[in-house]
Amino acid sequence: MEPHFQAFTRVAVAVAVSFCSSAAPAQTARYDALVNAPFEKDYPTPTATSLLRDELIFQRAVQAYLWALPAMNLWAMKEGSEKVFGAGYHVLPTWKERIRASTLVTTPNSDVVYAMGYLDLRKDGPLVVEAPAGVQGILDDFFQRPLVGPTVDGRTWSGDVGLAGPDKGKGGIYVLLPPDYKGEPPKGSIPKDAFVYRSRTYNVFLFWRTFFSDPRDLAKPNAQIAATRIYPLGQKASARPMQFPDGNGKPADLLFPRDGAYFDMLSRFIDSEYVDPSDLDMRGFLHTIGIEKGKPFSPTPEMRTLLDRAAKSAFKMSKVVIGEMLPHEPGGKYYPDRQWVNVFAGEDTSFQSARTYTNLEQRSAYFTSAYSASPGMVKNLVDAGAKYPVTFRDKDGHFLDGGQSYKLYLPPNIPAKNFWSATVYDATSASGLDNGQDHPSLNQMDKPVQNADGSTELYFGPTAPAGKEKNWLRTLPGKGYFVILRLYSPQQAFFDQAWKPGDIEKSK
């Protein structure tokens, strides 16, 4: 595995070479200014020093922004959640009536019941999680890497809990160890039949999803989540009682910054975290811009202005990556003749399926618009896990326009053993589109009207076509959006492409 810096540098060079030939005149002038920065007697002049130093800081800040996306996505969620719901291993906010667009977070799923908690293994030491039966859960570190678990029946588990995890949906006990924990826990301290997971960061993201068959009756999925127990290892009797605040009770902003405030947040994260030796090169990038563990982040006004520009540029770059570059990556489209994009083309949570590099385009594209990853989400598992085809464009290749009307054709026998859903998202923030509907999604349990042959047509636009209200999702004029088609427990017809969704196409 290559160090992060080498992977970043090599991919950045390749991308730069591929785009240089189409650089606009203004870009060419900028590059010429760098190339021709004046030196006298082999040494930089003050003009060259100022120009090249600022360029170095800008470039390092841009790459640091993109590198840190998985961590900042989660850290923003942690800070936003704790501000509204409180902090601690015992606090597990639950969206009891399904998550609405009033909660600002990247690509939430409104068609399950969510619970999201933030654990601190530095503060509380090893933690025990009693996962209830029926959850489909994930345990990620704060770079959104699945925690590494035990080997059971010849398989090494990582990240997944519940239906796609080692307890297989029956419920189980998980012990979470911090990155600097040495050796094995003392004998007798681990609950019987527990699964021991190790984290590479002190902070751990706990993410539960539970399912329902009737959107009007959510008592069972809420009861399943409420059976969760979390406590420090060996301290169950003295642990703080669990709290399950209603996530819809007060809107929470869980989005990462798109400006210079990102680097203030990144400094707070770095101060709180374990120093992973594999991150030292990228931490060198952070040192260049003034972020270092244990030291205050206090940029000058001039530096802050430069970092603000770098953050805003990096965020826009991430949107170019997901909207323009990702579809051209190997396996970036599910179907060569359609617009559906595969954000997990490599089937690998570390985006290293090629084993000779980290696919930074896939990595940046995913974490600018989503959180959490586990093998159950990325592997091709028939009748298990999930798949998430996403489209930003209509059949003709144009970005989806909230002022236009569209139709999506889904052939009969949609291959989702559990359920399917379609959700609309804000093109900028990737949060649920605040379209005025109760939830910005339609799912199988909503029982949209089917055609006589069992096919289904969904409609997107500012107004519903006459008589199609039950199959319609509202969009907003002047606002771009994208659509995720979720298939929970996808069936063989999806993988061998015997079943393929249509493209979203303009309708009258």
Residue 219 banded pLDDT, cuts 50, 70, 90 = very high
Q: Distance (Å, rounded) from C-alpha 264 to C-alpha 298?
A: 9
pLDDT the model gives residue 292: 97
- Topology of domain 4-67+257-323, CATH: VPA0735-like fold (1.10.3360)
Joined tokens for residue 182? 């040495």
Name the segment(s) of the chain with CATH classification 1.10.3360.10: 4-67+257-323
Residue 95 reports pLDDT greater than 50? yes
Name the segment(s) of the chain with CATH classification 2.60.40.1610: 85-232
The three-class DSSP label of residue 467 is coil
pLDDT the model gives residue 24: 63
Domain 380-506 has CATH 2.60.120.600: yes
Residue 353 reports pLDDT greater than 80? no
Angle at 178 between CA 175 and CA 183, to 5 degrees: 80
333, 421, 101, 246 alpha-carbon torsion, rounded to 10° = -130
Q: Distance (Å, rounded) from C-alpha 328 to C-alpha 317?
A: 16
Joined tokens for residue 499? 């079943």
Contact 222, 117 (CB under 8 A): no
Residue 151 banded pLDDT, cuts 50, 70, 90 = confident
CATH number belonging to domain 85-232? 2.60.40.1610
pTM as predicted: 0.90
CB within 8 A of 187, min separation 6: which ones?
none
Condensed to tens digits (0 to 9), the pLDDT of residues 2-51 reads 344 344 344 343 334 344 445 566 678 889 999 999 999 999 999 999 99
pLDDT the model gives residue 344: 84
Distances (CA, A) of 282 to 252, 275, 372: 31, 11, 22
Mean residue pLDDT of the chain comes to 91
Place of tokens 């994208």: 482
CB within 8 A of 505, min separation 6: which ones?
394, 395, 396, 406, 407, 408
Which has the minimum average pLDDT: 44-53, 63-72, 145-154?
A: 145-154
pLDDT average, residue stretch 179-193: 83
Q: Distance (Å, rounded) from C-alpha 83 to C-alpha 79?
A: 6
Measure CA 316 to chain center.
17
Name the segment(s) of the chain with CATH classification 2.60.120.600: 380-506
Residue 1 reports pLDDT greater than 50? no
Angle at 121 between CA 120 and CA 122, to 5 degrees: 90
Q: Distance (Å, rounded) from C-alpha 290 to C-alpha 302?
A: 13
Contact 473, 418 (CB under 8 A): no
pLDDT the model gives residue 26: 67
pLDDT the model gives residue 82: 98
pLDDT average, residue stretch 493-497: 95
Residue 57 banded pLDDT, cuts 50, 70, 90 = very high
- Looking at residue 120, its amino acid is D
pLDDT the model gives residue 182: 87
Burial of 320 (0-12, 13-18, 19+ CB in 10 A): middle
Which has the minimum average pLDDT: 183-197, 259-273, 274-288, 301-315?
A: 183-197
Which one has a higher pLDDT value, 237 or 13?
237
Residue 62 banded pLDDT, cuts 50, 70, 90 = very high
Which one has a higher pLDDT value, 457 or 348?
457
Residue 152 reports pLDDT greater than 70? yes
Distances (CA, A) of 284 to 65, 218, 257, 454: 13, 49, 22, 57
